[in-house]
Amino acid sequence: MTSSPPESDLRSRQARGMSVEDDLGWALGVVFRRYAKRSAEALDDLPGGPRGYQVLATAAGEAKRQLDLAAQLGVDRTVMTYLLDDLEKAGLVERRPDPSDRRARLIAPTEKGFEALCDLERRLQLAEDEVLGGLAEGERTVFRTLLARLAVKADAVEHVPNACSIAEGLDA
């Protein structure tokens, strides 16, 4: 490996007199990458890693068609094919024919898939706890609450019809 000799980004920022507290982007990136890294480790043996988990978790609620699953998780439908190939090979999900449309396949976790999901969720919980390790119990709650509000807002904004799609709908 040639890259990333781990020198602290923080140290140099402080040396330059920049206030860390003022840089949302830096903090957000560090925390997110740390969580991403920890959860990727937790999901290491799962085909598709974090995305394999998302597929498993999403399909666990109710059997979903491949294309819907892809749309929901924001992955390309071709990627979804590969992802499901691997998960199916590992015996974690199965493709069932959709009785109402013979072109479509319904994706559902197998029994083994459900068991794996339980275990994975427990491991992810540990990763979360580790990331929040710097905060006291009460602070964690506050942080989670505020973050969740930002996320809900961001999620809504991102999916709200924009000016263009509204305009398209209007010219009827």
Among 34, 37, 77, 122, contact with DNA (rule: CB under 7 A): 77
Distance CA 153, CA 6 (A): 35
Closest CB 169 distance from a copy of itself, rounded Å: 15
- CB-side neighbour CA atoms (13 Å) of 126: 9
Q: Edge-to-edge, what's the strand order for the sheet holding 64-65?
A: 64-65, 101-109, 93-98
Which among 21-29, 32-40, 77-85, 143-151 is the span making contact with DNA, rule CB under 7 A?
77-85
Q: Is 79 helix (H, G, I), strand (E, B) or coil?
A: helix
Nearer to DNA, 85 or 115 (CB): 85
84 is a contact residue toward DNA (CB under 7 A): yes
Closest CB 112 distance from a copy of itself, rounded Å: 21
Which among 15-23, 28-36, 82-90, 157-165 is the span making contact with DNA, rule CB under 7 A?
82-90
**Partner that binds at residue 81, options a copy of itself, DNA, none, CB closer than 5 to 8 Å by kind:** DNA
66 is a contact residue toward DNA (CB under 7 A): yes
Among 4, 44, 170, 171, contact with a copy of itself (rule: CB under 8 A): 4
90 is a contact residue toward DNA (CB under 7 A): no
Tokens for 78, please give them.
């071709």
Q: Is 64 helix (H, G, I), strand (E, B) or coil?
A: strand
How many residues are listed for the chain in this entry? 172
Q: Whose structure tokens read 């990458």? A: 33
73 is a contact residue toward DNA (CB under 7 A): no
Q: How far is CA 60 from the centre of its chain?
A: 15
Backbone angles phi, psi at 155, to 5 degrees: -60, -40
Distance CA 111, CA 12 (A): 51
The residues that touch a copy of itself, with contacts defined as CB under 8 A, are: 2-10, 12, 15-16, 18, 20-22, 24-32, 34-35, 39, 58, 61-62, 68, 70-78, 124, 127-128, 131-135, 139, 142-159
